[in-house]
Amino acid sequence: MTHPNTVKARKTFLLLSGVLIAVLLLSSWADVGRLTGKLLLYARVAELYFEPPDTELLMPIKEVKTRQIANNWHVPRAGDRLHEGQDIFAAKDTPIFSATVGYILRIGENDLGGHTVSVVGAGGRIYYYAHLDSYAPEIAEGDHVDTETVLGYVGTTGNAKGGSPHLHFGVYTRQGAIDPLPLLKDRAK
C-alpha cells in the first residue's frame, strides 16, 4: 500500500515536469508566465480535491441570518427544473462574501444566473453565486479566496430580472447539487 503523501508527491512531481516541458516548448516569456500560472492553479485545485469538503459554510451575506432564509431548495421551476440552491434576499449592492476558502474557478454570465462567480473548495466542491449586480473589481479567475473575500454585490441579473434582489447560492458536489441550508452558519456579531 502506498502512503497518501507518496501519491501526492508523485502527482506534484508530474505536474512540475509538465510545467518544465511546457516552458521548454514555448518561446515567448509572456506565454510561459501565463501557462505556468494556469498549471500552478490546477496543481493547487488538485491538492484541494484530496481534502474533505467543508462541513460549515459561512453566510455569504453577513447581515442575513440562516433562520431568515425561506427554504426554497428543490422548489419546482419552469421547464421541469428543480431549484438547486437557496435564495438569500438582501438589498441591491449588499456585498457577497465567499462562504469558504478556495479558488475562483469562473467569473461569467449565463441566461439563468446572470452575473455569476464559481469558487472551487475542499473536496472539489463548487460554490455558485448568482444574480450578482456586479463583480468585486479586484477578483480574477484563479484567485485564492477566503471567507473575508468579497466576490460581488447582490442584484437581479439573469432570471431574477424584475424580482427582488437576492443571491442564489448553490453547492455542487461531484455527484450533483446539495442543499446549502443545513451547512450554512451565521457570521459572528
List residues binding Zn ion (CB under 5 A): 87, 168
Residue closer to Zn ion, measured from CB, 21 or 75:
75
If one counts every other C-beta atom within 10 angstroms of the C-beta of residue 177, the result is 17
Residue closer to Zn ion, measured from CB, 121 or 170:
170
CB of residue 130 vs Zn ion: minimum separation in angstroms? 7
Q: Which residue, judged by CB position, is nearest to Zn ion in the bound state?
A: 168
Cβ pair 144, 37 in contact under 8 A: no
Rounded Cα gap, residues 127 and 119, in angstroms: 5
CB of residue 85 vs Zn ion: minimum separation in angstroms? 5
Residue closer to Zn ion, measured from CB, 87 or 133:
87
Distance of CA 153 to the CA centre of its chain: 15
> Strand pairing of 57-58 and 184-185?
parallel
C-alpha cell at 40: 500552478
C-alpha cell at 70: 425561506
CB of residue 168 vs Zn ion: minimum separation in angstroms? 3
Residue closer to Zn ion, measured from CB, 115 or 168:
168
Residue closer to Zn ion, measured from CB, 125 or 168:
168
CB of residue 149 vs Zn ion: minimum separation in angstroms? 22
E strand segments, the chain: 57-58, 76-77, 81-82, 86-89, 95-97, 102-110, 114-120, 126-132, 134-135, 144-145, 150-153, 166-173, 176-178, 184-185
Residue closer to Zn ion, measured from CB, 14 or 75:
75
CB of residue 126 vs Zn ion: minimum separation in angstroms? 16
CB of residue 102 vs Zn ion: minimum separation in angstroms? 21
For residue 80, what is the DSSP state?
T
